[in-house]
Structure 1
Amino acid sequence: MLKITSYLTLDTSAKQLINHLNDEKTSLTFSENAVLIKLLDNSEEIWTKEHLLAEGWPDRVVAPTSLTQCISTLRRKLEPFSEIHLKAVARRGYQLHIDERSHVKMVSLTDSGTIRAAFLDVSVMVKIAGALFVIGLIILAWYQCEYHKVLKNTAFWSSDKQVELNIGGVKESATLLYKDDTDQLHESKWQKHIAPESNVVLGLKGFSAFALTNGNNYSFAACPGYALDDCNGVGIININALSPEPAGLNMREFVPLTKKMEERIRFNRVLIPKDSVGNIIEHHYHADVYFPAAGEKLIRGDFSLSLVYDGEKSGQIYTTTCITDEDCSTTPIKWKTRGTFNQYEQTIGDYEVDVFYSKIAQKEFIKPDFVTPSAMRFYREIRRMDIQETELIFFRVHSTENTAVWIFPFMDGLVAWSKYEKVQF
C-alpha cells in the first residue's frame, strides 16, 4: 500500500487507486500499476521511457506507443486529483509531481504524519480558529466535570470567624461556617431564637460548636465537651432556625423533649438491607436536627447517611431524610436516595474537609397522610429535591471516633453534629 496524498493510496497488490474521501476505487492494468509504482518510487525524478517500458512490460518488446497510451490512461484516471501532475519532459521522459499544499478534505486519523501535514498546511487563521475551538471544548469539559463542581461548591464557604453562643447558660465560641456573600453574621442571628429567661441546661459545663448560615437560615451544632475531640455523641444539640422571627425556644423544656422524641421509633436506623451478602462495612452517620419556630410545633429532622466503600475514595451512598413534629401530628415525610459517591479532600478556611460528591441513582419519596402547617415547608422542600436533584454534595467538616460534623444539602445547607457507628454484614 503506497500513500500518494493524505487521502489517496495505491493498493499495489489489488492494482487499485483508493480515494478515502468516498471509498471510491479505480482499477489499473498491470502496466499502469507498474509504471505508477516506478513514478512514485522517487517523485520529482525524471524517468526515461526505457525505464518505464522495462517496468510496465517486463521481458517483452513493445512499441513506444504502448507507453504513450499507458501514460494517457493514467492521466485520465488521476485527473480527479488536481494536486497530482504526470508531466512529459521533452527528450528525457516522464515525471510525477504531487502538490503537497493541496487542499485536503479528509485525513486519516490513524496516520499521525498525515494529520501533522494537514495541520501545517492550513492557514494561520484556520489554525487559530481550530486552537480556540479545542480550548473551548476543554473549558466546557472542565466546567461540567465533577471535580470543578466540588471546587466551586467548596469555594462558597468560609470559616475564618467565630461567634459566641450561650447555650443552657454556658458561653462558648463557635466556629462559623458561612457563604462568602453573607454579611449578616452577628451572634444575635443565632442567639435570638433561644428564650433567655429559660436558657438553662442542667449539668452542662462546656461545649464545642459550629454555627452556619447560608444568608437565609441560621443553624448551629453543639456537643458537650471543652474541646472538639471531647464529643462522644451524648447530649448533641442541632438547631436550625428558618425564620427571622425569634423562635423563643425554651431550653429547659427542649432538652427533655428531644430525649422523648428520640426514644420513639427510629426511622433511619440502618440503611443497608439485612439480607446483603458478603463482607460489607457500612459507615453510618445519624443526626437529629430541630427546627423551632414561634408558636409552632417543634419539627424534628431525622437525617441518616451511610457510606459503603468499594474503592479507596469511592463507593455506594445511602441517605434518608425523615420529618415529623413533636406530637407526631404530621405523619412521617420520608425521602430516600441511593447512588454512588467520590470523596475529595478540600479546605474551608483552616479546616481540612472531606467532600462527598454523590450521583443519585434511585429515589423514593413517601408522601405523608397528613401535614401540619408547620411541617408544610419541609414537605415542599423534600418534594422539590425529589423532582430536581440528581446530584448531592456533603461536607464532613470534623470527625471523632464516635461523631462527625456535616454540612447537609438540605434547605440550602445546614450544619449537624452526627453520631457515627460502623456496621458490618
Structure 2
Amino acid sequence: MKITEFLIIDLDARDLVDLKSSNRSPLSLAEFEVLKCLIKHAGDVVSKEALNAAGWPGRVVAPSSLTQCMSSLRKKLATQQEIELKNIPRYGYSLCIVDTNGLKEHALSVDDSGKLRDGEHNPSVIIPAEEVQISTKIQGRKRGVYRWLSLVGLCLVIASLHFSGGLKKAVNILSLIAEPEVASITERSFILAEKPSLVNTVQLDNQNSPQIPVGHLLDNWFNYDAVLNNSAEKQMFMYDNGRYESVALCNEFDKTCGDHQPLNLVRSMTFPIAPLDIQWLANTKLRMEQVTYNKILLDQFEGGDKGLIEDIFRADVYYYSDSQNVVRADVRLSLIFDSENRGKLVAAACITDDLLKEISIRYQFSGDFKLKQSKVDGKTVKTFFVDIDERSFTRPQTLSKESATIYREIRKNVLKNESMVLRQLYQDDDSGVWMLPLWGDTMVWAHREQVSL
C-alpha cells in the first residue's frame, strides 16, 4: 500500500517501509489497521470511535489504547516530513500528506513510451509529459494566486473582527471548546458515622490519576461522630485536581439534600496530609460564620426583567492545612435565564481566615453564559460557558500563609481569563453541587434560593 512516493506499507510483512533508506518499522495489528483507516480517509478527520473499531474490532478498550497507538505511529512517521498526523481535540485524528511534486502521486504513472498516464480518472488517456509540465506550472501559479487571495481575505476578516470586538469573542469560544469535560462520576458506598453513605468521585477527561480510596479521605478525620451523627444518609462529591482535593458533604440526604449548611472542605495534596478535628472545625465554622464578609450584592439585575426567576446559590468553603488557621471562602452565585440555554451570571467570593478576621480578599465576575447539558454516568452535568464582561478584585495589604494559597489561585486562574467554565453536577429544589474556580476547580455544595423579579 503506497502512502507517499518513498513510503509504503508491506501488507504481507505488516511493515512500514522507507524506500529511500530501506528502513522497515514493524507495525502492531492495531497500528496496522488504524494507519490503513487513516490513509483511506487521508485529509479527513476520522473519529476516535471509527479508529477504535478499526484497530480493536469487537472489543471495548480504554481511551489510552488509541492515544498510545497514535503516539507510536507518530514516532514511526517522525522522519517523513511530508506526513503529519494531527490530533483534532474531542473529535479524532487526521492524516495529512503534503504533495511535494504538486501532483497526486497515486494518480499518475509513466508508460513505456515515456508519457504520463492519468490512472485514477481515466486509465485510457495518455498525457504527453510536456503538457503535464506546462499544466503543472499553470496550476502552481493558480495555487499561488489563490493562497495570496486567501491570505488577504483572512487578514481582512481578522481586522474586521478585531475592530468590532468579535476577535476576542472568537478566541474565547475556541478556548472554551478546548476545556476538558466531565469524563466520569463514579458512585461508591461507604460508612460514615456508622451510617451508610455514598461518595461521587468526579474526573475530567484530561485526568489520568487513579481513583482515590474513600478510606484515604477519612483517615485524617477524627471527632466527627457527634457532628455527623444522625439517622439520615450522607452523600459526598469529591474531586482531586492533582494539587488540591475538595469534598462537598451533605450530612442529611434523603433523595434531596436537607442540610442547610453542607460541609465543603479543601486540602493540599502535599504529604503528610494534616489531620482534621471535625468537632473543632464545626466550632470554628460557627464562630466565623457569625460575620458575613461577603457584602457584594448579587441582586443587581434591572427591574425590566420582571417575570424572571433568579437562582441564588450560597456556600462556605474551608481550606485547611497543618496549621490551626483555616481559610473561609464565602461564595455566592446568581443566575438568570433569558432562554433555555442562555442567560446572565454573577459570581462573588469573599475570602478570610481566622488570623485576619477583619481583612479579606474579595473578587467578583459577571457576564453572559451559554449552557450545555450532558449525561455522565446517569447524572445531569450542566456546563456554563461564561463570557466575562466585568470583574473586580480587592487584595488586602496583609496575607497569611494559608490565605495566600487561594490568592495565587485567583490571580492565576480567574483574573487573567476572559472566559470561564463553571460546572453543576447536581441540583434539587434547595441545593446544588458546583465545580467553582477557587483552589483550581473546587467542589462546592451550595444552598439554593429562588427569587422572583
What's the TM-score, normalizing by structure 1? 0.61
- Identify unmatched segments of 5+ residues in structure 1: 1-121
CA offset digits 1:380-403 (Å, max 9, x no partner): 222334541111100111100011
Structure whose CA Rg is larger: 1
Q: Distance in 1 between matches of 2:142 and 2:397?
A: 65
Counterpart for residue 214 of structure 1: 241
Q: Distance in 2 between matches of 1:275 and 1:311?
A: 17
Counterpart for residue 198 of structure 2: 173
Counterpart for residue 421 of structure 1: 449
Which region of structure 1 is more displaced relative to structure 2, 333-342 or 323-332?
Answer: 323-332
Counterpart for residue 191 of structure 1: 218
Q: Distance in 2 between matches of 1:315 and 1:292?
A: 35
Q: Distance in 2 between matches of 1:275 and 1:151?
A: 31
1:231 equivalent in alignment to 2:257: yes
Q: Distance in 2 between matches of 1:387 and 1:234?
A: 31
1:281 to 299, 303, 309: 309
1:222 aligned counterpart, secondary structure: strand
Conserved 8 A contact 1:406-1:415: yes
Q: Distance in 1 between matches of 2:145 and 2:203?
A: 43
- Identify unmatched segments of 5+ residues in structure 2: 1-137, 159-166
CA offset digits 1:299-356 (Å, max 9, x no partner): 1111111112223321221110111113543611000112111111123333221110
Q: Distance in 1 between matches of 2:378 and 2:369?
A: 25
Amino acid at match of 1:232: G
Conserved 8 A contact 2:351-2:362: yes
Deviation at 1:423, TM superposition (A): 2.0
The 3 A distance-change label for structure 1 pair 181 and 304 is same
Amino acid at match of 2:236: A
Q: Distance in 2 between matches of 1:334 and 1:317?
A: 17
- How many equivalent pairs are there? 298
Q: Distance in 2 between matches of 1:203 and 1:184?
A: 27
Deviation at 1:295, TM superposition (A): 1.7
Which region of structure 1 is more displaced relative to structure 2, 379-388 or 361-370?
Answer: 379-388
Counterpart for residue 430 of structure 2: 402
Counterpart for residue 254 of structure 1: 281
Deviation at 1:359, TM superposition (A): 1.2
Counterpart for residue 56 of structure 1: none
Conserved 8 A contact 1:224-1:234: no
Conserved 8 A contact 1:247-1:294: yes
1:364 aligned counterpart, secondary structure: strand
1:315 to 326, 343, 346: 343
The 3 A distance-change label for structure 1 pair 129 and 373 is same
Q: Distance in 1 between matches of 2:172 and 2:415?
A: 21
Q: Distance in 2 between matches of 1:351 and 1:182?
A: 21
Conserved 8 A contact 2:267-2:319: yes
Conserved 8 A contact 2:414-2:437: no
Deviation at 1:269, TM superposition (A): 6.8
Counterpart for residue 230 of structure 2: 204
Amino acid at match of 1:230: T
CA offset digits 1:77-103 (Å, max 9, x no partner): xxxxxxxxxxxxxxxxxxxxxxxxxxx
The 3 A distance-change label for structure 1 pair 386 and 152 is closer
Q: Distance in 1 between matches of 2:297 and 2:290?
A: 16
1:409 aligned counterpart, secondary structure: strand
The 3 A distance-change label for structure 1 pair 295 and 124 is same
Conserved 8 A contact 1:184-1:215: no
The 3 A distance-change label for structure 1 pair 202 and 412 is closer
Deviation at 1:288, TM superposition (A): 1.0
Amino acid at match of 1:241: R
Counterpart for residue 186 of structure 2: 161
The 3 A distance-change label for structure 1 pair 198 and 316 is closer
Q: Distance in 2 between matches of 1:356 and 1:282?
A: 16
Counterpart for residue 290 of structure 2: 263
Q: Distance in 2 between matches of 1:399 and 1:367?
A: 33
Identity %: 19
Conserved 8 A contact 1:335-1:365: yes
Conserved 8 A contact 2:200-2:238: yes
Deviation at 1:235, TM superposition (A): 3.9
Deviation at 1:237, TM superposition (A): 0.8
What's the TM-score, normalizing by structure 2? 0.57
Conserved 8 A contact 2:380-2:425: yes
CA offset digits 1:222-264 (Å, max 9, x no partner): 113344x320342411111124332211112222322332232
